[in-house]
Structure 1
Amino acid sequence: MDKKLFDRLVKSAEQMVAIEKGEMHPTPNAVTQFRIPDVKKIRASTHLRQNEFADLLGVSTALVQSWETARRVPNGPALKLLNIIEQQPQIIETLRTV
C-alpha cells in the first residue's frame, strides 16, 4: 500500500476515535447523510399489498417486510427504484408491464 494512502487511513481512523470519544466534532460538510425512504409509506401510496409491491420491485415479500419494520435498509438498485417511485409514483404503471 502507498505510504501516503496508509497515512491518510490512519489519520481518518484517529479522527473517528476522537469523534466517538467526544474529543472532536466533525464539520457539517464532512458528514454525509443518506435519507432512507419510508418504504411502508411509498407502498401505501401505491395501494399495493406487500407481496404485489415486492413482485414489482423484484424482491421477496420478506425483504419488503424487513424494510418496513427497519430491520433492513434498502440498498443498491432497490434503493434507487424506491426513490424513483417516491418521486414519480406513476412509474408503477410502467413496472407492471416489465
Structure 2
Amino acid sequence: MKDELFSDLLASAEEMVAIEKGDLLPADSAVHHFSTPDVKKIREVSGKSRQEFARIIGASIESVKSWETKRRNPSGPTKKLLTLIEADPIKTIQILEQTG
C-alpha cells in the first residue's frame, strides 16, 4: 500500500474513533438523513384498518404491522406510494380502491 493511501486511511480511522467517542462532530456534508414515513399515522388518517390498508397498497398485513412498529422500513415503490397517500390520503385511497 502506498504511504499516501495508508496515511489517508489512518486519518479516516482516527476521525471515526474521535466521532464515536464524541470528541468530534462529523461534517454536515458527511451525514446522511433518511426520512421514514409514519405508516401508522398515514393508515389512521386514511381511516382504514390494517387489513384494509394492506390490501389497498398491495402489501401483507405483517409488512404493514412491522412498518407501524418500526421493526422494518418500507422502501422503493412502497415508500413512494406511502408518500403519495400521506400527501392526500382521501383522494389517493379512493384512486387505489377504484383500481384495486
Give yes or no for TM over 0.5.
yes
Q: Does 1:20 align with 2:20?
A: yes
* Residue of structure 1 equivalent to 2:95: 94
Q: 1:77 to 1:12 in 2, by over 3 A?
A: farther
* Residue of structure 2 equivalent to 1:80: 80
Higher helix share: 2
TM-score norm. by structure 2 comes to 0.76
Q: Does 1:69 align with 2:69?
A: yes
SS of 1:77's equivalent?
helix
What is the alpha-carbon root mean square deviation over aligned residues?
A: 2.5
Structure of greater relative contact order (alpha carbons < 8 Å, 6+ residues apart):
2
SS of 2:24's equivalent?
coil
Q: 1:18 to 1:88 in 2, by over 3 A?
A: same
Q: 1:31 to 1:55 in 2, by over 3 A?
A: same
Structure 2: tracts of 5 or more residues without a match? none
Q: 1:13 to 1:79 in 2, by over 3 A?
A: farther
Between the two proteins, the alignment pairs up a number of residues equal to 93
Aligned counterparts of 2:11 and 2:85: Cα–Cα separation in 1: 36
Q: Which amino acid is the alignment partner of residue 92 of structure 2?
A: I
Structure 1: tracts of 5 or more residues without a match? none
TM-score norm. by structure 1 comes to 0.77
Q: Which amino acid is the alignment partner of residue 91 of structure 1?
A: T
Q: Which amino acid is the alignment partner of residue 24 of structure 1?
A: L
